[in-house]
Structure 1
């Protein structure tokens, strides 16, 4: 039995009967663990994780669950270096699941948040922390400045420091941040968003209801979640978006997709480098062309 399985068993008050490695994303190591009481657990761990890393994820799942709109896995145990969740048996990304998810996301994005970000708790986007101002920001007209200062420029600085973005592309991002009011669209009050809703964080299930996992849940702009679903492609995306817009239409959203994808491209440029820096520059220039 693996040490992780033994730990999870002790934390959940059972004993482990088996474990095997499973995909846990690009950051953590993960296992599927079976317990003698009949439960199956998904557990992930990260060596040298920040002390609040998994607590932040657990809080994000709780924040999504509290809206009563989307489905997330139950949290079974949270430790500084691990998180144990109920195992959700995977299934195909059916049209029915995609439609339901679109409607549930529309409900999530209709849930008001007190302010942008998470001023009262830690939050991570992948392995990188998200920061917030000392005083909460909640005025819809202040979202563009908040997004530029706390969601774009910090990751641009990391990418520059790590050599993950070329000077010309960095300047394009800086120009966008200086003119973000021109491309941000109509003022958007803060609502609850998943915050890291790329396709890998949609878990299609055998029971017919998709679960959202690995959130950076916060008060934010709903178009960020939708743009992320498009960033790397998502099964059933046309059905998700059409079902969403049946409930919550978003006029002119397509023109703003590059703006809302830029944060995650910058995170990738800061963390992985490679071609993500040039994608950041391209997204910034595409957003500016809409002004």
Structure 2
């Protein structure tokens, strides 16, 4: 099935144009001026995982996300949001809204969105959503060690370097800050998934699960999100207003929460990310 066939079956309407929007993503124009996105899944259950994540994150209305028109085993068809330029005001508002979204909570650390599969995806990498008894256990077992093993298999880390990550996992309860209830997180909140539109910031392409809210904040800082200071400032104010201020030292824990995306990128893309992951692990253990 191609993008045209997917939209015809999952959305309906007369198609007036199709163009590639990037990779396996297509912008499909419909009669009457509407446009939708047709996205081909990267692997098994990828479309189901993304659809469940979009719906779960959107249900409170705190942060806008694209409406899901339909999906099958191969394709996801969803609302297209025309892009616009970033602004400080939109960034601050987004930060406040993200704080509220996180506080909607989740069933547990590692819980998938309702109706979503346990075997999900972050970009092109598989990601397991399985509930752990606490954040340190979940983060070690499902966000650090699987990708560390992949990196070791590719000889990206020496034995001593791999042991450094294992030591960090043993100390997560010590270095991870005070316990928090599981948050409703986007899971892949890098700059490319922060979508600036005329009516503010939308989130796209989630890897949603029950996680630690500092994880989303760390992802925002990993690849240079626009208006970052305004987003983080709005978030901190919004969290305080909701009676759940960020724990002391959260900025010092950014490298810890960046370990997962860095190790995942290293496992998929290679050595440069492995060096960054090693630096983040050392910074955490100082």
Query: TM-score by structure 2 length?
Result: 0.91
Instruction: Using the TM superposition, name which of 221-230 and 146-155 deviates more.
Output: 146-155
Are 2:64 and 1:65 equivalent residues in the alignment? no
1:168: Cα distance to partner?
4.1
The answer for the alignment partner of 1:36 in structure 2 is 31
1:17-76 deviation line (CA, Å, top 9, x unaligned): 1111113xxxx5111110114310111214xx4331111000000110123211100111
1:157-188 deviation line (CA, Å, top 9, x unaligned): 11222334444432221221121112000001
Q: Is the 8 A contact 2:95 2:234 kept in 1?
A: yes
Corresponding residue to 1:183 among 165, 170, 175: 175
Distance in 1 separating the partners of 2:261 and 2:279: 13
Q: How many residues align?
A: 276
SS in 2 for 1:130: strand
Query: Superposition pairs for residues 231-250 of structure 1, below 5 Å?
Result: 231-248=222-239, 249-250=245-246
CA 1:125 to 1:165, structure 2 compared with 1: closer, same or farther past 3 Å?
Answer: farther
1:208: Cα distance to partner?
2.2
CA 1:6 to 1:36, structure 2 compared with 1: closer, same or farther past 3 Å?
Answer: farther
Are 2:106 and 1:109 equivalent residues in the alignment? no
Q: Is the 8 A contact 2:6 2:38 kept in 1?
A: no
1:94-119 deviation line (CA, Å, top 9, x unaligned): 11210111011110111121111125
The answer for the alignment partner of 1:230 in structure 2 is 221
Distance in 2 separating the partners of 1:7 and 1:81: 9
The answer for the alignment partner of 2:242 in structure 1 is none
Q: Which runs of 4+ in 1 moved over 6 A?
A: none
Unaligned runs of 5+ in 1: none
The answer for the alignment partner of 1:94 in structure 2 is 87
Instruction: Using the TM superposition, name which of 146-155 and 224-233 deviates more.
Output: 146-155
SS in 1 for 2:128: coil
SS in 2 for 1:210: strand
Unaligned runs of 5+ in 2: 240-244
The answer for the alignment partner of 1:51 in structure 2 is 44
Distance in 1 separating the partners of 2:227 and 2:202: 14
SS in 1 for 2:20: strand
Are 2:118 and 1:124 equivalent residues in the alignment? no
Q: Is the 8 A contact 1:41 1:87 kept in 2?
A: yes
CA 1:117 to 1:12, structure 2 compared with 1: closer, same or farther past 3 Å?
Answer: same
Distance in 1 separating the partners of 2:30 and 2:265: 36
